[in-house]
Amino acid sequence: MEFLPLFTDLKDKCCLVVGGGAVALRKANLLQKAGARLRVVAPEIDAELEQLAADNSGQCHHRAYTQDDLDGVFLAIAATDDEALNAQVSGDCHAANIPVNVVDNPALCSFILPAIIDRSPLVVAVSSGGRSPVLARIVRAKLESSIPAAYGRLAKLVGECRDAVKARFSDIEDRRLFWEKALDGPVAEMVYAGKEDAAKEMLQEQIASADAPSGGEVYLIGAGPGDPDLMTFKAMRLLQRADVVLYDRLVAPAIVELCRKDAQRVFVGKARSNHAVPQEDINQLLVDFAKQGRKVARLKGGDPFIFGRGGEEIAQLASERIPFQVVPGVTAAAGCASYAGIPLTHRDYAQSVRFVTGHLKDNSIDLPWSELVHTTQTVVFYMGLVGLPVICRELVAHGRHPDTPIALIQQGTTRDQKVVVATLATMVEEIARNPVKAPTLIIVGEVVELRRQLAWYENQGELVKPVV
């Protein structure tokens, strides 16, 4: 993070704008909305900008900038097309420890102005660190359409009732849980419908009758194979609600970063034959945290119920009578195959697909090999990298042709995705020449050949889908 987002109180503070054109007017409008007193300095000043300053007890000086213009200034903005002048303003401000923004020149800035979604008192700021203001505005436009204008009215209602909630609940966690429930229920719906008075009355009744929240809940969340964009809306919503997040190495770091910043993060490991936290202990952690009254997210790569041991975890939760929700995720087979350009089924090549774990509980590979060699079936091996030689050998030994195509996908759907294609006879040698690292997925079947026919290309280890 190059810039720390901060919201500054500018009410009745003097803010300098150097420049008198259209850009200076846009920046001055932002300052004025926040309650600042404007001091505008430029040889020529736009009439609208001059009127804006006059209407808000500001000043306009029709002359060149001097260092004396910084006297009594809280912050400054340089918005001219004179690079030397902008640099002078920046240098003077840095020397005087006055925050300064130089339009379109992040190197000269000590603060930057974000793109803003204004639902006052709720304000959302979007920034690219000065690298791409246009991209920040595009993101803002997307957010504008998804954040109702009524959120501002809802924020005002919450502000009016905060002291009452503080008086009702001394514990900060109890207050947070109360507000989460209130803001996701009928009170909020009434505000959205324009019934603020009825909403306030209902909220006050809830505050008066509310008891301290008791009992936790566990969310088993399928995080997908790695790309955060593949997570469901429900997964994102529950992840943001969680007080504690348990995750392992199969969950992409970018997904872990999506949890609340104040949530407790617990790494539970789970590498082959090297569990940082044994499964039994993970089950118990879920129980223990929930019994403390906390909302617990168990992030699981792919889908919780496809080789994710989710069944073991909910069994213990159910035995302890702890509420839980299971959120399906895009399983690794579907995600990795799609990003690698390999359809798992095809009318001409494979009428069925089978998901198989590459190692069992005791790390053996004792599979029903004779059932895995049908030529019209795609077989997907999870966690099969270590057992790759055995997989290739046994499939051939039980009747699959040595020339059967096989693909090994490393860290599928992420920026580190790598796809190695060979045959059952040659894959072990290919991996020796072209090493890969876990997590990996193995796809065996004629559908692998379709990767080339469907015109997916590999470029420096990253797959690029041609634009149609």
Would you please indicate which residues are annotated as catalytic (active-site) residues?
A: 248, 270
At residue 143, φ and ψ (nearest 5 deg) are -70, -35
Q: Is 71 annotated as a binding residue?
A: no
At residue 365, φ and ψ (nearest 5 deg) are -125, 75
Q: What six digits make up the tokens of 211?
A: 């008891």
Q: What six digits make up the tokens of 437?
A: 């690292």
Q: Is 350 annotated as a binding residue?
A: no
Q: Is 301 annotated as a binding residue?
A: yes
Q: Classify the C-alpha dihedral 427-428-429-434 as positive or negative.
A: positive
* Contact residues for 217 (Cβ-Cβ < 8 A; gap 6+): 290, 295, 296, 322, 323, 324, 325
Q: Is 23 annotated as a binding residue?
A: yes
Total Cβ atoms within 10 A of residue 257: 10
Q: Is 276 annotated as a binding residue?
A: no
Report yes or no: 270 and 220 within 8 Å, Cβ to Cβ.
no
Report yes or no: 247 and 268 within 8 Å, Cβ to Cβ.
yes
Distance CA 430, CA 409 (A): 13
Q: Is 306 annotated as a binding residue?
A: yes
Distance CA 78, CA 83 (A): 10
Q: Is 186 annotated as a binding residue?
A: no
Rounded to the nearest 5 percent, the helix, strand and coil shares of the chain are 40, 20, 40
Q: Is 66 annotated as a binding residue?
A: no
Distance CA 304, CA 328 (A): 7
How many Å separate Cα 184 from the centre of its chain?
Answer: 21
Distance CA 98, CA 76 (A): 7
Q: How many CA within 13 A on the CB side of residue 69?
A: 28
Q: What six digits make up the tokens of 166?
A: 């503080």
Total Cβ atoms within 10 A of residue 137: 15
DSSP state of 37: E
Q: Is 329 annotated as a binding residue?
A: no
At residue 127, φ and ψ (nearest 5 deg) are -140, 145
At residue 208, φ and ψ (nearest 5 deg) are -65, -35
Q: Is 383 annotated as a binding residue?
A: yes
Of 358, 387, 386, 392, nearest to 373 by C-alpha is 392
Of 420, 402, 401, nearest to 410 by C-alpha is 420
Q: Is 323 annotated as a binding residue?
A: no
Q: Is 43 annotated as a binding residue?
A: yes
Q: What six digits make up the tokens of 276?
A: 């940082």
Q: Is 22 annotated as a binding residue?
A: yes
Binding site for NAD(+), by residue number, is 22-23, 43-44
| Binding site listing for S-adenosyl-L-methionine | 225, 301-303, 306, 331-332, 383, 412
- Binding-site members are 22-23, 43-44, 225, 301-303, 306, 331-332, 383, 412
